[in-house]
Amino acid sequence: MAKEGLDFDEVIFDEAAKAKDLDYLEVSLSRRIFIGVAVAAIFFALGAFGRVFYLNSIRGEFYTKRASANANKEIVAPAPRGVIVDRFGKVLAENVAILSVFVDVGELFKQYDNEKIEEIAMKLGETLSLDAQEIEQALLAADLERSSFILIERGVTVVEGIAIRSLNSPFIRLIDDYSRDYINGAAFVHVVGYTGFSEAGNSIVGKTGLESYYDELLRGEEGSRILYRDAYGNILGDKVVSEAMAGQQLKTTIDADLQKYFYQSLRNGLNRLGRNAGVGIIINPQNGEILSLISLPSFDNNILIARGRNQEKNNILNSNSQPLFNRAVAGAYSPGSTVKPLVAVAALRENVIDPKHQIFSAGFIEIPNPYFPDQPSRFLDWKAHGWVDMRSALARSSNIYFYAVGGGFEEVSGLGINRLKEYWQEFGFGKLSGVDLDGENKGSLPDPSIKEKTTGDIWRIGDTYNVSIGQGDLLVSPLQLINSIAGVASGGKIYRPHLDSDITPKLLIDNSDWVEEFREAQLGMEDAVSKYYGTANSLSDLPMAVAGKTGSAQVANNARTNAFFVGYVPVETLDKMDVSRDKQIAILVLIENSREGSLNAVPIAKDVFEWYYYNRLIKNDE
């Protein structure tokens, strides 16, 4: 009887099982493995679906245009920025037509290697007097997903344009473009600002001032046209895809003639003193409109956008006097005695003192020193004033009077630092006003706990005395300060300061029910001008009534003095002048490191007040 044959696989696997003492070799898979594989498959499927959805739905239009641009050639048509004008329609910033040089990097990369790209960069560098290596680096770093065209230079001359065309390169293009032209640039630069390249480097955007704040309004929309080509790259025709749309016009609240006059007057005043830093602001207390805003030193914004002029640009960018810094909005200063009208309102509101109550100023007061009884702390007035009430103290700018109402002295209890801080907030200090300019400084309010943490020293009555006269730890921006004085002029209403004439006036603070308190502060500021002993008496011969307050703030450990003047016209005798309320203005003049204190700021204010009277109050606007 024949024997059954043995299968080779059975022998091998049987022996392997015996060797491992196993009963079987086949093992069933766990259910978790099947679930894991299914989840992974679903995950990858969702990822693939999401990517397809993104490319087709979200980025579909972009890649459709890119596909069209690969088959043809899309040429961008730059849009002119919107014109910026003053309140009367006078142009502050407009556009001039220029030629700009672009390179079609997409086509260049398709047809040539790096060696040819280097050659093209060298030709452009020679023609335009530019660094060929920088051009090459810009071409190689191009982001083709953003644009196939790379800007090489703006504003080329006619001669350079002819030379560019003579290169006969299909990759280099001269395109009609626009550049900004700033009228009286140095006088308006900290209001208008200037433009520059975007981060991508292919478009112009606002960098500072109104150019930056209202960039979306001013920028407009670029247009484009397509050059149709055959398979060999030959141009068959072109079609306008979209027309460039100019940006919108921005009408400002600025009075251009007033701004130019104020700018020149402030510059002349600084030059006479051998100084170069200062601020000038004019605002309408009735609605917050800014009629003038000046920061010195200044610079011509046309230089920063011009081709070449590199040395002048470097001088501006690296100057120790910081001409790019907008002191009017971004600066922070101790306001000196210009804060006294606000302290007066707070003291009356809190019944700390009666406006007729008199305090004697012998030129100083002494506070007992508990640690050294024979060494009392002495706080000085700038001169002895004798007996003064509130109006007289404001007119004379008596420090002793405001030491008492601020920190307390003898029978006057004083407001104390906490109430002072509360009322300064009521005048807009320590917070942003919301002005339509970037970089606004909210200032700093004195705080005993902060002083103790930062210095390890407690808050003393001398600290309260100092901030009561605008020294020490109280810091405000010039714009905050003049807006608070505008609140005094309007009888308690403080508006958002603004430069766009289309903005509806926004009331920030309304203390108009403090009628009696504000009237006392107004009378004290009027006496500062009309009384022979007033610190601003030199304004008394103007052809209109003026209210004003001078101030001097010691800085840099009393090594320097900043001079202030704040005031407004017309005053409460407005109806007698037959002038509407919308003609009222509040003015601030600041001179940094003034030689002789606050009186240096008064002549500049007088000059501007006189111009305003003859050109705006008794003369019809142009």
Shared domain check, 221 and 152? yes
Which tens digit of pLDDT belongs to each residue from 505-537?
Answer: 999 999 999 999 999 999 999 999 999 999 999
Domain stop point among 196, 227, 251: 251
Shared domain check, 307 and 240? no
Q: 3-state class of 560 per DSSP? A: strand
72: pLDDT confidence band, cut at 50, 70 and 90? low
Please, what sign has the CA dihedral across residues 132, 136, 142, 144?
Answer: positive
Which tens digit of pLDDT belongs to each residue from 441-490?
Answer: 999 999 999 999 989 889 999 999 999 999 999 999 999 999 999 999 99
Q: 3-state class of 474 per DSSP? A: coil
Shared domain check, 260 and 232? no
Pairing of strands 223-229, 73-77: antiparallel
Distance CA 598, CA 591 (A): 8
Which tens digit of pLDDT belongs to each residue from 338-348?
Answer: 999 999 999 99
Shared domain check, 378 and 298? yes
Shared domain check, 230 and 279? no
| pLDDT of amino acid 456 | 87
> Is 319 within a domain?
yes
Domain stop point among 198, 228, 251: 251
> Is 609 within a domain?
yes
Shared domain check, 408 and 328? yes
The pTM of the full predicted model, rounded to 2 decimals, is: 0.83
Lowest mean pLDDT among 194-198, 229-233, 376-380, 420-424: 229-233
Shared domain check, 269 and 233? no
Whether 415 shows a pLDDT value over 80: the answer reads yes
Domain that holds residue 239: 71-251
Find, among 282, 290, 211, 307, the residue nearest to 254 by Cα. 290
Q: Residue 151 maps to which CATH number?
A: 3.90.1310.10
The whole-chain average pLDDT of the chain stands at: 85
Domain stop point among 251, 274, 302: 251
1: pLDDT confidence band, cut at 50, 70 and 90? very low
Domain tally for the chain? 2
Shared domain check, 326 and 247? no
Distance CA 352, CA 344 (A): 10
Output b/e per residue, 476-515; b: 16+ Cβ within 10 A.
Answer: bbbbbbbbbbbbbbbbbbbbbbbbbeeeeeeebbebeebe
